[in-house]
Each structure stands twice: as C-alpha cells, then as structure tokens.
Amino acid sequence: MSTFCDVCHGLLERKLTTYTQWYAGQLVVVENVPAWVCEQCGETYYEPDVVERVQNLIWSGSEPERVIEAPVYSSNS
C-alpha cells in the first residue's frame, strides 16, 4: 500500500473512519474502521482485509450496537 494519495499525491494518514454502506434497503454504519485518509483532499483508502472484515460484519446480520435515524435530503426537489 503506497502512503500517497492516488488523487492528489498528498500524504496518507492512518485514521479510524466511519464506513457506510447500503445493505438490504438499509443504510448500515460501521464505526472505528481503520483506513488511510489523505490529509490534503480527504480521499479514504481501505485495505482489502479491512473491507472483507467490515463486509462480513454487515452480512452477518448480527445485532447492531445501536440504531440511528438519519435525515435524508434530495437536491432534486
């Protein structure tokens, strides 16, 4: 894994991020996911094994830590 951003060639920092994904019609949020984040443009890079772990967690259907409500907007209205 290179430590430079593919987009702007800025330096990547190791950070804990919040990973979001739609699954079975629901937006699923996974907190504290380690990633490389560009300190310049904010682009986020996940390592393949981290993505696999997060996917397995989402697909497992196990009880989430908590459930949140999220406001939804459309820029189309």
| Nearest CB to Zn ion, comparing residues 43 and 53 | 43
Give the footprint of Zn ion on this chain (CB under 5 A): 5, 7-8, 10, 38, 40-41, 43
Q: How far is the CB of 51 from Zn ion (least distance, A)?
A: 19
Q: For residues 77 and 40, is the Cβ–Cβ distance under 8 A?
A: no
Distances in whole angstroms, Cα of residue 66 to Cα of each of 13, 22, 29, 31, 37: 28, 17, 10, 11, 26
Min dist. Cβ of residue 20 to Zn ion (A) = 20
Closer residue to Zn ion in complex, CB, 14/66? 14
In DSSP terms, 37 is beta-bridged to 13, 44
State the nearest-atom distance from the C-beta of 26 to Zn ion, in Å.
30
